[in-house]
Structure 1
């Protein structure tokens, strides 16, 4: 097989990937893997075009000059010259008119571009929503709780912690933590294991277990048991778990979420140059966000919606809940919706039988 045939086959494959992933993103719900493949294929395609133009610049130049030379030699009459000139002029006018017409269409969201886009949006809205089922802390004697999390558009492998606390802010029970943070399973380019105190600082400080290096993020000696950890789902998920509480405790359910590299104008790589955590690990971005339910009596069966109530410290130096969300942009879309279903405790159900 010649080099030309190999390149042609590779280009055909890239075009096929672009076509398939483009249709997937246009008609169906967002999928991180599909979007990544589309971006990768598009980048490769642009790179090939750039390399082709660079490597064949002289050949293309000679070809264009030869066309001009042949055209001048073959002109047998003024009519043929005028015909070619008119054709080029018509093409130029067509390009200019099309460009001018596209400006108001783009600027004011006019058809047909919006019509085509809205059709795809409506089609995506009719697709089924899938959830991954997860279970932690299985066992008898616990009050059942279910947490349903609908992933947001910006949720690309975030770190997540879900826990229950009382009115004093004391952590009563950890229901789930992403395994990467819970077991200190992070990797750096140089092969080391970086510490990530900024990942989920509110949960880490609520847990209150300090590692030997003074950080509250788990390390190899303070990591969590497997019963409450699992890899972060790359889709929507439903967590079934349980907790212990006594009496008429008033509780609320908390969800902390954070993604790496989600830089913006406020939280960018050089935002805190003197902060050794924020400027050191290279995995930071916008701070962790905290979602929470209202406080309820734990004996009451309830369906509760979580609301965004604040954020953590940008480098995890404390466990405070900061109400100022003015610099938060795309991180707001890490979670589209979070619902909590709390069932009555087992002893209460038994007493009614």
Structure 2
């Protein structure tokens, strides 16, 4: 008869063998497409999430070297339409409905420069971003393929703004601006990333770098270049790479 300790050793060896033979699943990467019928050049964005990633809103757009807005390439649908999945509790449970969130992606919104009837620069139900440029928020890593409407200048900037709520820290506290409801929808402000693209320099891949953050309540289109007060907001993204197609 096998002794108890022998059975324990055999069981441990079996578990070790199973563990060592287990194949780790590769992280899932979602593929997105925007404006596929555009007549301008295409590019792709490789987004790899950071440790603090939790269903953020974001937008990708282009501007000239003079800082003037060229076009939006992709924006998460909630901000692009002002219709949020949990936007209307009037029936006793949450249903999609309109919510105005000027603090979500304010640097892009002011760059775009379309002022709605309520005085805000975020798109509205009456004047949403076209479906070709919007999509649901990806749950994690993704690759986005997008096209310009027409040919951009040979040299231009690609910008990416990202924001998620409930990310208070020791500087951006929940009582920093106690009477500012818009601040409370953003917590740490949106972070802006940028890469300069030169279609004539022979480079096909560009790494985007954080260049600043937006206004904490979205009231202006200022870019604040001091990132020293941000913590987890800088950990939403691990890596952003733009590739010319």
Q: What TM-score, normalized to structure 1?
A: 0.58
Structure 2: 5+ residue stretches without partners: 1-18, 91-96
Higher strand share: 2
Q: Between Structure 1 and Structure 2, whose CA radius of gyration is higher?
A: 1
Q: Which has the higher contact order (CA 8 A, sep 6+)?
A: 2
Secondary structure of the structure 1 residue equivalent to 2:31:
strand
Q: Deviations over 1:298-351 (max 9, x none)?
A: 6855210001111000000111111011210111110000000113xxxxxxxx
Correspondence 1:178 to 2:83: no
Secondary structure of the structure 2 residue equivalent to 1:294:
strand
Count residues with an aligned counterpart.
219
Which residue does the alignment assign to 2:143?
A: 238
Secondary structure of the structure 2 residue equivalent to 1:204:
helix
Higher helix share: 1
Correspondence 1:266 to 2:179: no
- Summarize the Cα distance change of 1:299–1:245 in structure 2 as closer, same or farther, 3 Å threshold: farther
Structure 1: 5+ residue stretches without partners: 1-26, 28-122, 344-353
Which residue does the alignment assign to 1:310?
A: 212
1:160-175 alignment, distance < 5 Å? 160-175=58-73
Aligned pair partner of 1:215 in 87, 106, 120: 120
Secondary structure of the structure 2 residue equivalent to 1:223:
coil
Which residue does the alignment assign to 1:252?
A: 157
The answer to whether the Cα contact below 8 Å between 1:287 and 1:312 also exists between their aligned partners in 2 is: yes
- Summarize the Cα distance change of 1:223–1:339 in structure 2 as closer, same or farther, 3 Å threshold: same
Which residue does the alignment assign to 2:188?
A: 286
Q: Give the Cα–Cα distance (whole angstroms) in 2 for the partners of residues 263 and 150 of structure 1.
A: 22
- Summarize the Cα distance change of 1:189–1:229 in structure 2 as closer, same or farther, 3 Å threshold: closer
Q: Give the Cα–Cα distance (whole angstroms) in 2 for the partners of residues 233 and 194 of structure 1.
A: 20
Correspondence 1:147 to 2:52: no
Q: Give the Cα–Cα distance (whole angstroms) in 2 for the partners of residues 189 and 229 of structure 1.
A: 21
Secondary structure of the structure 2 residue equivalent to 1:293:
strand
